[in-house]
Amino acid sequence: MQISELSDRSGLTVQTIKFYIREELLPKGTPSGATRAEYDQDHLERLRLIRALREVGDLPVAAIRRILAAVEDDGIGMHELFGTTQYAIGPHVTPPDDPHWRAAREDVDALIAELGWRVTDRAPARDLLAQTFVALRRLGFPVTLTDLRPYVRAAAEVAEHEIGGVTDGAPRARTVHSMLVSTVLSEQVLTALHRLAQEDASARRFGEFQP
């Protein structure tokens, strides 16, 4: 298929596709003549993946590039791919050299150690969590580790279910997609349901009767 057909089928403009090729999110088509190149089903799939990561996951192009480079690399294992993805989706909080920050970060580290979770020291989510602790405390809402129990329980259950559901024994491409879906897209599912559940809880607690 030519680029115009790829454009039609993906719903993206030709320029956007060219842009993704330039940005190395999408491999070039195989040349079939000096001014022509052939695209196939894989390109279409890739575009769908890119759009999912951009629109649903709201990932910047640079992050997607890093993730896809890992996807491409056949030598990389599932757990490394997972790590790469986690690292790429950031956000990359750069902790200031502040005692409150250090304290929060230590709390996070202590929590993870206590739970016995196998998480790298440089996992960005550690700082992400520490950052929210700092903000919460600044606003006068101190966080203790016991406050987190419901979150920990919920997070652990969902994560277990997700990682357990990663396709296995399927072709690598499928497993890899499955992994990305589990991390990036499922996060959005959880967030959306969380918001809906909150609205319900808020309605029951604060809402008036609906006639």
Among 24, 48, 56, 61, binds DNA (CB under 7 A): 61
Residue 170, contacted partner among a copy of itself, DNA, none, CB below 5-8 A by kind: none
Q: Give the nearer residue to a copy of itself in terms of CB position, either 72 or 98.
A: 98
| Amino acid at the residue 38 | E
In the complex, least distance from residue 6 CB atom to a copy of itself, rounded to whole angstroms? 15
Residue 145 touches a copy of itself, criterion: CB under 8 A: no
Q: How many residues bind a copy of itself (CB under 8 A)?
A: 82
Among 9, 16, 69, 185, binds DNA (CB under 7 A): 16
Q: How far is CA 122 from the centre of its chain?
A: 17
Residue 170 touches DNA, criterion: CB under 7 A: no
In the complex, least distance from residue 173 CB atom to a copy of itself, rounded to whole angstroms? 11
Nearest Cα neighbor of 129 from 115, 112, 114 is 112
Cα(38)–Cα(28) distance, integer angstroms: 9
Burial (Cβ within 10 Å: 0-12, 13-18, ≥19) of residue 78: middle
Interaction pattern, residues 182-211, with a copy of itself; x per rule: CB under 8 A: xx-xxxxxxxxxxxxxxxxxxxxxxxx-x-
Q: Supply angle C-alpha 121, 124, 125, rounded to 5.
A: 95
Cα(113)–Cα(83) distance, integer angstroms: 19
As beta bridge partners, residue 31 has: 37
Query: Which residues lie near DNA (CB under 7 A)?
Result: 2-5, 13-16, 18-19, 21-22, 28-29, 31-37, 54, 60-62
